[in-house]
Structure 1
Amino acid sequence: MRKGKVYLVGAGPGDHELITVKGLESIRKADVILYDRLVNPRLLEYAKAHCELIYCGKLPTRHFMRQEEINRTLLEKALAGFTVVRLKGGDPSVFGRVGEEAEVLADHNVAYEIVPGITSGIAAPLYAGIPVTHRDYAGSFAMVTAHDKSKDGKPDIDWEGLVRGVQTIAFYMGVSNLNHICENLILHGKSPDTPVIVIRWGTWSRQKSVVGTLSSIVQKVQDENIENPAITLVGDIVATRDKIKWFEKKPLFGQQMILARGSAEEESMVDQLIDQGADVIEFPKWKISEGSLDVKVRNKLAMYKRILFTTTEAVTHFFNLLKKYQIDIRQLQAKIYCLKPASIIALEDRGLMTSLADDMDAEGSLLIVGTKLKSEQRWKLDYKYGEHDYADVYQSSIDERFDVAIKRSIEDASITSVLFSTSDSVHTFMREAEHYGLSIRTLDPTINIICLTKQVWQTAANYGLKSKMLVESSDYVDFSSLDRSRLFVATTIG
């Protein structure tokens, strides 16, 4: 059997857009992905539909996946002929144990590539407004592990050389050893007044920064209850923060939101929200699988006078199936209609002029193209459009591969908001929340429920949500113009 290949990929520090182009291409061609806790789950969305996703972090019923088990899994999957991606937070060569994994692969003659990533020791300070070098403050920079393999886990460092030779020092995962670090830096010549910043969850909206000095930072970190993952940056360069910090000024910075989606067809606002500074957990993840064209429909394609596409996905899969069944598009003689404006673009890209369903006449045989529907949904179409044929060219379902990633994301976050854009999203959330570790009746009362239309708000209210106010626009909310004070429209159950 042909051996596969392993890509040891740096995923960057958290912001999913900080991955390299080569890293992203590796994800897209992977058959198997082993990913760490600090990898942004959004990167997994670029994987193929049948890619196996393996979480290497802490599961609810077990400890961390040991390095030996990770090594063994990489070998087994590669020897079975798969393309494997080992997706690691930050840069794999900076305290990422990539050398150990590469050695195992080399020992077994398994082909591999190492794809660098942006390391958190540089990215987290930048997102806190601090470049690690600056002509006025620092011309040297060092990255130091705050843990090692010693019995007590305290770093065995050339403290004197570090203090004498480096102006900016980044300690990785150093919260538990922060007192030891500060004491040794002072003992070996650093001034107790040297500025220090500890940055937790750097590049995420949950990013939190605590600024102090070598003599005061330990107490400040304790007072703010800061834990790992965190970067500790030591040096005069910290003084640049007040002037050039940018990320924390975004309008939705600090918002950790669950975006509930009732189906794969619902338009996602994730990119809008992230661009405004929010962390967003899509809940749940949906997948789409292609359906078929019934023989009866195929034989009648040239006879239909009207074709109505219910979603953009229906457009894509309908024409995929025409190609699959080798049906010439020129057979279509019908007038084309769609329910959503976005579908117009997809149809016009194929050279088909179309109109919205509101403008559809009532004459002639009708084919409706969409997803696989339940009986009550079909009844609604019968009631609205009368006699017609229906082609379920695709179906959507919850993608269970993302269950672990979603649960882990919810555990790591301090959720501030849940956003509903449709009534289906409310129903799905209420039905699936317990599965993902959310107890509906014990939600933190400070969590805000956001509803984008009056109808959605009414659906949420039927589940026991109490309203505070309604969104100004009943149909669409432009998040680029919203700030936090205008965003919330309901409180949680109470």
Structure 2
Amino acid sequence: MGTGKVYLVGAGPGDIGLITVKGLEAIKQAEVILYDRLANPKLLEFVPADCELIYCGKLPERHILRQENINDLLVKKAQEGKMVVRLKGGDPGVFGRVGEEAEALAKHQIPFEIVPGITSGIAAPLYAGIPVTHREHAESFAVITAHDKSEDGKPVLNWDSLARGIDTIAFYMGVRNLPFICENLIAYGKPSNTPVILIQWGTFGRQKTLQGTLADISDKVKEAKFSNPAIILVGPVISLREKMKWFENKPLYGRQIILARTSESPSDLAKELAAQGADVIEFPKWKRITLPVNPEILAKIDSYDQILFTSPESVDEFFNILYENQFDIRRIRAELFGVSNKSLKALRERGFIPLPADEMSVMGKRLVVCDTQWEKDENADVWLTSEKVLDSQFFPIFRRIFDDAVINTVVFPNSASVEPFMRGLRECGIHLMENVQIVSMGKKTMNAVMKQGLPVSEMPKQATKEALVELLASKPIGIM
């Protein structure tokens, strides 16, 4: 067994669209991932099904894994021949302790690569409408750690250079030391009316800001009970914010949505909601277990008049089985049908012209190809290609996601999503269906929701993503 390789990857500041192409490719190939609290857990959706996930998250004064243990784990997993990804929030070289991890790997002669990421000190201000440099306002920029290894955690800095020589300063994770920071900047010459802004959970839909000056921001933070994770930005360039803010103007900014999921892959609906400014968590996470090929059905595939596919995954599995068994698909004479738009799309991508399920005839010999248990049909054979089950490895990940988020909206896209969603919550040990707005995409879905004993506030005029966005944008959070 040869030595593996380690990729030290910057996950970016939160918005998963900000990860680099190279970083995402490393995640998709990983056999082991060690990930931090501030690396968006939604990036783990892209990992292979058999990837081992190890949480290394840290909170002040409470470490899940200490740095030396993380170093040892990276070495150990690589020595087992694994392809290992160390996934770190922001950029690994900006207060990410990548130097210590790289040194440990080099000491044991383990190959590694460092993949840069977008650091939050630049990204969070931009999502708040503030460039850290500007020809008229700021020609210099500094990133500063707002705590150090000393007993009281107060950083020892060259305050004179910061106060007099730097136009824009980004302090990382410094809410607790904010009074100390403001006092020193003023004492060393920074005007007390210098603008300051705190940006919490920057680039997430839950992003919040609090603005003031060096003179009053500490009192404002105390009154608002503002907390980390947050970037503290100091400098006159903050004055551009009212002209340039864009993220907070999105129609669904502030919405923290759970979208009930029945598929393994990310949905177009989730992408659209996120594009409109919402935080979107697709729940639960599924994995599939391949089942043995049904030889009796395989032997008579060319005898069916109609074949119905219940999911895009069942389409892929069906044709993969035919290919592996050297079956010429030109022998299929059946009309092909799909239960969902995704199923129809998967068939079209293979060169077929399928029809919706409701256009099936009652006449003829019929086969249903499915990846979950299907209601019995006396007039059809059923071919179960795989079994879809809840992925329990993601249960603790979802618990951490929900601890950080404040969910205010739950969307059920179809009736089939309701029961598995509620079962997933029970198995995860998560309780969040109180004080949330519930939206059903259609009457059939609404009936399924009510059957579970849940209240339904409203449903969009049509079961489309555009109509859903319009509904959510027209209703203040908390009022449906």
> Does TM-score exceed 0.5, indicating one fold?
yes
Identical positions, percent: 50
Is 1:134 paired with 2:131? no
Is 1:402 paired with 2:391? no
Contact 1:372–1:392 (CA under 8 A) maintained in structure 2: yes
Question: What amino acid does structure 1 have at the position aligned with 2:444?
Answer: Q
Deviation by residue 1:106-144 (Cα, 9 ceiling, x = unmatched): 000000000000000000000000000001100000000
- Counterpart of 2:420 in structure 1 is 428
2:454 to 465, 469, 472: 465
Q: Report the 3-state secondary structure (helix = DSSP H, G, I; strand = E; otherwise coil) of the residue aligned with 1:91.
A: coil
- Counterpart of 2:211 in structure 1 is 211
Contact 1:7–1:112 (CA under 8 A) maintained in structure 2: yes
Q: Report the 3-state secondary structure (helix = DSSP H, G, I; strand = E; otherwise coil) of the residue aligned with 2:315.
A: helix
Is 1:327 paired with 2:327? yes
Shift in Å, 1:486: 3.8
Within 5 Å, give how 1:102-251 maps onto structure 2: 102-251=102-251
TM-score, length basis structure 1: 0.91
Task: Extract unaligned runs of 5+ from structure 1.
Answer: none
Within 5 Å, give how 1:2-401 maps onto structure 2: 2-57=2-57, 63-262=63-262, 264=264, 269-373=269-373, 377-379=374-376, 382=377, 386-401=378-393
Deviation by residue 1:63-83 (Cα, 9 ceiling, x = unmatched): 421111111111111000000
Give distance in 1, aligned partners of 2:179 and 2:369: 65
- Greater shift, 448-457 or 411-420, is seen at 448-457
Shift in Å, 1:320: 0.9
Pair 103,396 (structure 1): closer, same or farther in 2 beyond 3 Å: same
What RMSD over aligned residues (CA atoms) do the two structures have, in Å?
2.2
Q: Report the 3-state secondary structure (helix = DSSP H, G, I; strand = E; otherwise coil) of the residue aligned with 2:220.
A: helix
Deviation by residue 1:269-293 (Cα, 9 ceiling, x = unmatched): 2111101101111211112343343
Pair 452,40 (structure 1): closer, same or farther in 2 beyond 3 Å: same
Contact 1:251–1:482 (CA under 8 A) maintained in structure 2: no
Pair 266,115 (structure 1): closer, same or farther in 2 beyond 3 Å: closer
Shift in Å, 1:434: 3.9
Question: What amino acid does structure 2 have at the position aligned with 1:226?
Answer: F
- Counterpart of 1:451 in structure 2 is 440
Give distance in 1, aligned partners of 2:455 and 2:306: 44
Pair 109,444 (structure 1): closer, same or farther in 2 beyond 3 Å: same
Q: Report the 3-state secondary structure (helix = DSSP H, G, I; strand = E; otherwise coil) of the residue aligned with 1:466.
A: coil
Question: What amino acid does structure 2 have at the position aligned with 1:80?
Answer: E
Give distance in 2, aligned partners of 1:434 and 1:257: 19
Question: What amino acid does structure 2 have at the position aligned with 1:417?
Answer: T
Contact 2:11–2:89 (CA under 8 A) maintained in structure 1: yes
Q: Report the 3-state secondary structure (helix = DSSP H, G, I; strand = E; otherwise coil) of the residue aligned with 1:395.
A: strand
Question: What amino acid does structure 2 have at the position aligned with 1:208?
Answer: K
Pairs aligned (count)? 478
Pair 485,390 (structure 1): closer, same or farther in 2 beyond 3 Å: same
Shift in Å, 1:484: 3.1
Pair 247,476 (structure 1): closer, same or farther in 2 beyond 3 Å: closer
Task: Extract unaligned runs of 5+ from structure 2.
Answer: none
Give distance in 1, aligned partners of 2:156 and 2:320: 60
1:418 to 402, 410, 413: 410
